[in-house]
Structure 1
Amino acid sequence: MKTLIFTISAFFWLTMGLFAQQQTTDSLIGKKVVLDEVFVSAVRVTNASPVTFSNLSKEDIKPRNLGQDIPILMNFLPSVVTTSDAGAGVGYTGIRVRGSDATRVNVTINGIPYNDAESQGTFWVNMPDFASSTESLQLQRGVGTSTNGAGAFGASLNLLTDGYSEEAFAQVSSSLGSFNTLRNNVKFSTGLLNNHIELSGRLSQINSDGYIDRARVDLESYFLQAAYKDENTLIKALLFGGHEITYQAWYGIDENTLESDRTFNPSGIYTDENGVTQFYENEVDNYKQDHFQLLWNEKLSANWSSNLAIHYTRGRGFFEQFREDDDFDTYGFTPLNVDSEVVNTTDLIRRRWLDNDFYGTVFSANYEKDKLNFIIGGGWNTYKGDHFGEVIWARFASNSEYRDRYYDDTSTKTDFNLYTKANYKLDSKWSLYGDLQYRSVGYQANGEDTGLVDDTFNFFNPKAGITYDLNKKNNFYFSYAVANREPNRNDYENGNPKPENLKDFELGWRYVSSDVQVNTNVYYMKYRDQLVLTGELNDVGAPLRANVGDSYRLGLEIDANIRLNDKFSITPNIALSSNKNQEFIFQRDGVVQNLGNTNIAYSPKLIAGNLLTYFPKPELQLILLSKYVGEQFMGNIDAEASILEAYSQTDFNVQYELKCNGFLDSIVLSGLVNNIFNAKFESNGYFFTFDDDFSNPGTVTTIEGAGFYPQAGTNFLVGATLNF
C-alpha cells in the first residue's frame, strides 16, 4: 500500500514539475543560483579565515548518492570515521571527527541547529535521503567559527539545502542493491515564475533489510520549498522531514559471536513458554520528525545585509521492546498470587516515547567594505521534551490500565547566544580575524535516570587568528579558539557532570594552483574536564561519557587535490594524531590507580583516504575510493580487550550521463560497489568493566568485556536518474 501511495504521489509531483516546465536546459537540475549561500554566510568560512575546513558540493556527492546517509557520503574527508549499525550505510549511521563523536560535532542546516538539544546527537535516519536536497556542506575541524547550537568540540558541519532554480526541471531517480535495498525519489522545480517565485520539492522512499539480521528500515521523507527573490530580497519557506521505522541493531555482538555469526542481532531475543528461542518481530524504532524554516535575507545597502530565520521542529515517536521476566517494581505493578504462588515478574511489551518541540530564531547582520568584513549574529532556541513509557501488553498485568505510564518525565532547554566576528585585511598579505561569542544555556529535567536537574551555564568563547598570503598560491594561518560545552542528558546518568572546556590551536598552510591544491595543518586541542566516551552503553544503546581531568589531541592533517592530466586526478588525505588522557584515574581490582597517560577512546592514531578519479570521456566518470583507519581503543584504560582492530575499505564508483533530445533531457546511470575486496571489519564497538566480588569472597576482580558492530562485505548499489 505504501509503495502504491508513493508511486501516485511521485507521479503527481512529476506531473506538476513537467507542467511548469517552460524551457529545456542542458543542466541536470536547472541553473542553481549561488545567492542562496547568503543563508550560511554567517557560519561558513573561506581561505581568508584561519579555520581548518573541507567543502563538499552537490556535484561531489551526486555520483555516490544512492540512498546511503550523509555521514557515509562524508567518509573520505580528512580525520573522518563513519559507522553504520545495520552495516551497509542505511538506517542509523554515525560519524567521528578527530576522534570526537557526533554529540560533539555541531550541525546546522541553513544556519539553524540540528543536533538534538538533549542528547546533542544527530540522527540522520530521521531525514533519509537528505543528501538529495543538499546543495553543499562544509566541515570545519576543531572549534571552527562561532555557530548556533551546542559548541563544536571536534568539528562543526553546516549544510545548505537546495538553492532555488531559475529554470524548471523534473527528476525521477531509483536505485537498488544488496540486502534488498531500494530507493525511489522524485524532484521538481517550477523555475522562477514571473522572475520572482519558485516552488520545488522532493519525495523519497528507502527500504533495506540491512547486512545485520532483521536490521530492516522503512524510510520516507519529503522536502518542499517556496522561494521569492527580487533585487534585494531572498525569502525561502521550507518544510521537510521524515518517518523512520528501523528494527533495532544497536546492541552489537561479542567476540565469540563475531567469529561464528557476524550478522547475528540479539535485539528482540526471548524464550517462549516451550523453551524455544524467538525474536520479537516488532522490536523497532518508530519516529517522525518535521522541520519548518522561514529564511529571509535582505540587502540593506551596498555594504549591509541581514539574515533572519525562524524555525520549528516537531518530533514524536517510540521504540518498542519485548522484555522477558521484568520486575513488577519497574512498572508499578502489584505482586499477584497465581496458583498459590507469588508472581512479581512478567513478560511484556513496552514502548518508550519521546515527544518534543524545538523552536526559535537565528539572525545575523553583515557589513562588508574595502578591508573589513564584519558579522554580528546569534540565536535563541527552546526545546521541550516529554519522555514517557507505556506497557502495551503483559502476560501478568496486575492492576495496570491500558496506556498507563510507568514513567513520565519532562525536560526543557533554552539556548541563547550572541556573537560578533570580524576579518580585517591589514595590507595585501596580512589579515586579522576575531570572533567573540557569549552563550547561555538553561536545562531542567526530572527523569529517573537524570535525577532532578536545574542547571544554568554561561560561556564566553573567544577566537582569534591571523592569515598571511605569501603570494597568489600560498596562504598561511594560525588561530586560537576557546570553546565551552554543557553536558548532555546521558551524562547526568553518571552523577553530576561538569561542563567541558577546550583550547584549540590551529597552524595551517594552503597551496592553490590550477592543477594542485594542498591543505596542511597542525592542531593542538587542550581539554579540561573533557567528557570522553567510556566505551559503555546505556539501556537504549546510547554511548556513555564521563569527565576526565586534563586531556589533549595533537595532530597533523594533510589533504590534496591533484590533477595529473586531463583524465586523471587524485584526492589523498592523511591524519596523524596523539590523543591522551593525562594522569587517568581508574579503579581496578578494587584499588584506585593512576594509570598515567592513556589513549582517549575511539581516537585512532592514523586515518587515511584517497579518491582516484578517471574521466575517459566527459560523460563517464570512474572513481576508486580507499579508506584506512588505524587501531583504536574503545575505552580509556588501554585494555587489550578494548582494542578495535585497524581496517581498510575500498569502494568503486561509476557514473555515466547519456544526453537526450526532446522531452527527456538526460539519463544518468550510477553504480557503487562497496568494499570490493570483501574485507571483514568492525568500524565501531563498545567496552565495559565491572567489579566481581562474588567469585572469590574477600577479593574484588575487575571483569572486562567488549562488543562490536560488523560492517558488510562486498555489496553494491546501482541507480538511474531521469532528468526532464
Structure 2
Amino acid sequence: MKRSMIAAMAVLLLPLVSMAQFTISGKVTQGNTALPGATIKIKNTFAGTNADANGNYQLSNLKPGNYTVTVSFIGYKAAEKMISLNADQSLDFTLTPSAFLADEVIVRATRATEKTATTYKNISKEQIEENNFGQDLPFILNNTPGVVVTSDAGAGVGYTGIRIRGSDASRVNVTINGIPYNDSESQGTFWVNMPDFASSVDNIQIQRGVGTSTNGAGAFGGSLNIQTSGTTDLPYAELNNTYGSFNTLKNTVKIGTGLINDKWSFDGRLSRVKSDGFIDRSASDLKSYFLSGSYHGKKDLLTVNVFAGSEKTYQAWNGIPEARLRGDVAGMQAYIDRNWLNEEDAAHLLNSGNRTYNSFTYKDQNDNYWQSHYQALYSRQFSDKFSFNGALHYTDGKGYFEEYKADAAFSKYGLPNAEINGEEKEETNLIRRRWLNNDFYGLTYAFNYQALTNLNFTLGGAYNQYRGKHYGQVIWAQYASTGSIDRHYYDGKGNKDDFNTYGKVSYTLDQLNLFADLQYRSVSYDITGTDKNLSTLNFDNQYNFFNPKFGATYILNNQSNIYGSFSVANKEPNRDDFTNLKAGLEAPKPERLNNIEAGYRFKNSKWNAGLNVYGMFYKDQLIFTGEINEYSDAYRQNVDKSYRMGIELDASYVINRQFALNANAALSRNKIKNYVDYVTEYNEDFDVLGKVATTYENPDISFSPAAVLFGELVYRPAKGFAAALQGKYVSKQYMDNTQNKSRMLDAYFVTNARLGYDLQLKGIKNVNVGLLVNNLFDKQYESNGYTYSSLMQGVTTTENFYFTQAGTNFLLSLNLKF
C-alpha cells in the first residue's frame, strides 16, 4: 500500500518536475580580476547574457538537461564547460589571455564600438555561415537595416548590387582588413570578382552614414568593414557544397593547420560557383581561392593574404523592356519600330518569356575578369598603452567584355569605309572587346596610444596609387576595312593618387564618452587619351578634403546608452562624370555631405535593440538627370541641395529557449530641393533639335524607398536544429528624380525560409544540412531598373527597363567539418 501511494504521488508530481526550471550562475575572472562584459552563452540555444561590473552572471529559466556553456571575452581564449542540469548550479570561469593579438587591436582604428557615437551593425562569423549558400555577399547582408539588394541574373549569383539608405555601391565604402576594395575610378564594388569570399570572412561591421574615418573613398551612405578569418587553435578541414535552382552549384574546400608551436598558422580555401541564372542566358562561372599565413609573436602578428577570383558571366545588364515585361504585344511592336530592331531581334523579343527576356543572343556575350589581391598585415603591441597596425597591399586586375554589334559604323571605330566588290560600305557587323587592365597598390597604417584608462589617441592614414588602362579591340568584322585584331581603336588612362591621414581622440568622463575624428584627404586624378566614343580626354583633377567628425555617448547604465554625432564627408566625381560630360558644361564638382546621427542602444539577456534617427544633408550631390547621349551613356549632374532623413530600428528578442525574434525597420524621406530634368528633342529625321528642361520641386531621390522592413522568427525545437522564417518589405522606388508613377518600381514583400540541422558522426566533427527557400510565395517583383525619355513632334516617349528577380527557388547545402 505504501509503495502504491509513493508511485501515485510520483505520477502526480511528474508534470511539476518536467516543468521545473533552474538557474546557472557564476563569475568570470582572470585570476582575481573580474571580467565585466564577458559574453556567456549556451550552445544551440538563444540563452545568453553578459557579466556585470563584478564579473557575475546568471542564466535563468533553464529546463533540466545537458548543456554546453561557453564564455568569451576580447583578448582572452574562449572557454566552454559541459553541465548536466537538474538543480540550480554555480559555474565559475577563469579565462587566460590569448597567445596572440586580439582583433580589437587589429581593427580598432576603423571600427566602431558601443562607446562610439556611430550607427553600426556587427555581423558575426556564425551569422555569415548561416546565410552563406553561395550567393554574393550583398545577399548575405540583405537582412540588415536599410539595405536593398538586386541581381542582374535574378538569383543572387553573378552581378549583384547593394544600396544602403538609398545610396548605391559607389557611395558605400568597402575595406578588407582596412584596405580599400572599391574600384578607384567607378568607386563601385564588383562582388562577382570575389566569388564565395564570404567563406573567408570572420566578421563584418556595417556603419551607416559617414561612420568613422576609414581608408579609400569617402562614405556617403555607409561603410562595409570586412575582416577575414582569423587563426584557430586546432587544425581543421571543411567541405561545403550547395546545389539548387537554376543549376546553382557551390563547392568549397577549406583547410587550416591551427596554431603550430604557438607561432605559425596557415589557412586555405578553394571555391567554385556556377549558376545558369534566372534570366535567359545569364550563366555565371566563378572561381576563387584564399591563402593566408601568419606568424604570432608574443606582442606582434604578421599575416600575409593572397586571394584571387575569376569570373565569366553572360551579360544580363540591359534589363527587360516594359512592354515585354507586361506582355503588351502592341507596345513591343512600337518598341521594335522606334528602336529599329532587325527581324531576328524583333522575333526574339516577341517570343521570349515576360520575366526572363535577355536582349543578348550572341553566344560569347560574356564579361571576363581576373583579379588578384596581395596583403601583408602587421600588428604590434609595444606596451599596454601603445600599439600599431599597418599593411602593404597590391591588387592586379585584368579583363574585358565581349559584344556583338550589328550594323556598326566604321567611323565609330576610327576606320575608313570598306569597299566590297566596288560598293562602299559604311557599316559592318562586328565583335568588339572592351578591356580594363589596372594596378592598385599602397600602404595603410594606424598608431594607437592609450594615454590613460579614459583617454585614447589614434593616428592613422594611407597612401594608395591606381593605374588603369582602358582600350578596345575589334576581334572580328564582316567587312574588315583596314583594321586588325591587335589594333586598339581607343586607348585611355586613369591615374589616381589618394592620400589621407586622420587623428582620433576619445575621452571618457564618468558616464560620458567624447570623441573627435579629423581627417585630411588629398586626391589627384588624371584622365587622358581617348575614350570608347573616340573623344579626347584631358582632365587633371586635384582635390583636398577636410572631413571632421564629433560625437558623444552617454552611458545610462550597464544595459543602455544614448549617442549623437556630427560628421562631414567629401567625395570626388567618378570617371563617367568626366568621360560622359556634356559639351559646353563645366566639369563636375565634388560632393559634400553633413551627417547627423543620434540613437539609443539597449542590451540585456533577452533584448538587444537600437533606435536611431539621422539626417544626411548634401551639397552638390551628383544625380542622374534622366538624359542620355548618342552612345546611351547616362549623364550625372550636380544638384545644389538634397537630403535624406530617417529613423531606423534594429532589435532582437529572445522569447524563450526555443523562439527568438529579429526585426529592423528603416523609414526615410529622401528629397532634392530643386531638380532639372532634361529630355532630348529630335525631328523626324532624328536630328537633335535641343533639350527641353523641366524643373521639379522636392521630388524623391531615385531608388530611395521610404520604407525598408525586415522580420525573422527563429525556432530551435531541439539541439542542433534551427528554422527561420524571414520577411522583407521594400516600398515603391522611382527610377528617376521626377517622382513620375509611370517610371516606378512597385513595392514588394518577399518571404524566405531557412532550415539548418547540425549533427556529429564518427570521424566528422560536425555535419550541417541546410535549406534556403527564397521567395517562398512566388512573388513577382523587380528590384532595379532604369529609364530615359525623348521628345519628337511634341510627343514624349519614355523607355523603362526592369530587372526581374526569381520566383520560388531553393538552395540545399551539405557542410562537413573535420
Relative to the length of structure 2, the TM-score reads 0.81
Mapping of residues 44-59 of structure 1, within 5 Å: 44-59=111-126
| Structure 2 letter corresponding to 1:89 | G
Cα distance in 2 for residues equivalent to 1:585 and 1:337 = 47
SS in 2 for 1:598: coil
Q: Which residue among 551, 557, 571 is the counterpart of 2:662?
A: 571
| Structure 1 letter corresponding to 2:703 | Y
Equivalent residues of 2:625, 2:736 under 8 A apart: yes
Matched, 1:210 2:277: yes
Higher RCO (CA < 8 A, seq sep 6+): 1
**2:287 paired residue number:** 220
Q: Which residue among 203, 216, 221 is the counterpart of 1:154?
A: 221
Mapping of residues 114-513 of structure 1, within 5 Å: 114-260=181-327, 279-368=361-450, 369-427=452-510, 429-446=511-528, 447-448=530-531, 451-492=537-578, 493-495=580-582, 496-513=587-604
| Structure 2 letter corresponding to 1:600 | I
The Cα of 1:198 is off from its aligned counterpart by: 0.5
Cα distance in 1 for residues equivalent to 2:633 and 2:553 = 41
| Structure 2 letter corresponding to 1:342 | E
The Cα of 1:604 is off from its aligned counterpart by: 0.6
**1:632 paired residue number:** 733
Matched, 1:657 2:739: no
The Cα of 1:403 is off from its aligned counterpart by: 1.1
Matched, 1:619 2:706: no
SS in 1 for 2:716: strand
The Cα of 1:276 is off from its aligned counterpart by: 7.9
Matched, 1:705 2:791: no
Cα distance in 2 for residues equivalent to 1:672 and 1:383 = 40
The Cα of 1:535 is off from its aligned counterpart by: 5.7
SS in 2 for 1:709: strand
Bigger shift: residues 501-510 or 252-261: 252-261
Q: Percent identity?
A: 46
The Cα of 1:539 is off from its aligned counterpart by: 9.7
| Structure 2 letter corresponding to 1:579 | N
Equivalent residues of 2:99, 2:262 under 8 A apart: no
The Cα of 1:591 is off from its aligned counterpart by: 4.8
**1:643 paired residue number:** 744
Cα distance in 2 for residues equivalent to 1:306 and 1:272 = 66
The Cα of 1:335 is off from its aligned counterpart by: 1.2
| Structure 1 letter corresponding to 2:604 | S
Cα distance in 2 for residues equivalent to 1:564 and 1:491 = 51
Q: Which residue among 76, 79, 83 is the counterpart of 2:146?
A: 79
Equivalent residues of 1:535, 1:601 under 8 A apart: no
Cα distance in 2 for residues equivalent to 1:208 and 1:603 = 30
* Equivalent residues, number: 685
Equivalent residues of 1:511, 1:518 under 8 A apart: yes
The Cα of 1:26 is off from its aligned counterpart by: 10
Gaps of 5+ in 2: 1-78, 82-97, 349-359, 682-690
Cα distance in 2 for residues equivalent to 1:528 and 1:579 = 14
Q: Which residue among 663, 676, 681 is the counterpart of 2:781?
A: 681
Q: Which residue among 574, 583, 598 is the counterpart of 2:674?
A: 583
| Structure 1 letter corresponding to 2:791 | D
Equivalent residues of 1:32, 1:163 under 8 A apart: no
Matched, 1:671 2:771: yes
Bigger shift: residues 324-333 or 212-221: 324-333
Q: Which residue among 547, 570, 573 is the counterpart of 2:638?
A: 547
The Cα of 1:617 is off from its aligned counterpart by: 1.4
SS in 1 for 2:392: strand
Equivalent residues of 1:165, 1:192 under 8 A apart: yes
Give CA-to-partner distance per residue, 1:15-51, whole Å, 9 cap, x none. xxxxxxxxxx999xxx998724533221110110000
SS in 2 for 1:256: helix
Give CA-to-partner distance per residue, 1:221-265, whole Å, 9 cap, x none. 000000110210111000001000000010101111112399x9x
| Structure 2 letter corresponding to 1:413 | K
Cα distance in 2 for residues equivalent to 1:543 and 1:720 = 44
The Cα of 1:400 is off from its aligned counterpart by: 1.3
Q: Which residue among 705, 710, 714 is the counterpart of 2:808?
A: 714
The Cα of 1:410 is off from its aligned counterpart by: 1.1
Relative to the length of structure 1, the TM-score reads 0.91
Give CA-to-partner distance per residue, 1:127-177, whole Å, 9 cap, x none. 000000000001000000010000000001110001011110001111100
Matched, 1:603 2:704: yes
Cα distance in 1 for residues equivalent to 2:776 and 2:629 = 35
**2:57 paired residue number:** none
What value does the CA root-mean-square deviation take over the aligned residues? 2.4
Bigger shift: residues 152-161 or 593-602: 593-602
Gaps of 5+ in 1: 1-24
SS in 1 for 2:717: strand
Equivalent residues of 1:270, 1:324 under 8 A apart: no
Cα distance in 1 for residues equivalent to 2:652 and 2:675 = 40
The Cα of 1:62 is off from its aligned counterpart by: 1.1
**2:110 paired residue number:** 43
Matched, 1:559 2:640: no
Give CA-to-partner distance per residue, 1:436-460, whole Å, 9 cap, x none. 0000001011243683111000000
The Cα of 1:337 is off from its aligned counterpart by: 2.3
Cα distance in 2 for residues equivalent to 1:640 and 1:666 = 52
SS in 2 for 1:279: coil
Equivalent residues of 2:99, 2:298 under 8 A apart: no
SS in 1 for 2:697: coil
Equivalent residues of 2:110, 2:214 under 8 A apart: yes
Cα distance in 2 for residues equivalent to 1:252 and 1:518 = 39
**1:515 paired residue number:** 606
Equivalent residues of 1:318, 1:352 under 8 A apart: yes
Distance of aligned partners of 1:667 and 1:270 in 2 relative to their CA distance in 1, 3 Å threshold: farther
The Cα of 1:538 is off from its aligned counterpart by: 8.4
SS in 2 for 1:443: strand
Matched, 1:723 2:817: yes
Matched, 1:93 2:160: yes
Cα distance in 2 for residues equivalent to 1:95 and 1:543 = 20
Give CA-to-partner distance per residue, 1:338-367, whole Å, 9 cap, x none. 233210100001100000000000000111
Equivalent residues of 1:32, 1:164 under 8 A apart: no
Cα distance in 1 for residues equivalent to 2:628 and 2:459 = 40
Cα distance in 1 for residues equivalent to 2:629 and 2:400 = 17
- Max Rg structure: 2
Cα distance in 2 for residues equivalent to 1:26 and 1:659 = 18
Distance of aligned partners of 1:581 and 1:275 in 2 relative to their CA distance in 1, 3 Å threshold: closer
Cα distance in 1 for residues equivalent to 2:346 and 2:724 = 52
The Cα of 1:543 is off from its aligned counterpart by: 6.7
The Cα of 1:632 is off from its aligned counterpart by: 1.1
SS in 1 for 2:126: helix
Equivalent residues of 1:218, 1:244 under 8 A apart: yes
Equivalent residues of 2:100, 2:300 under 8 A apart: no
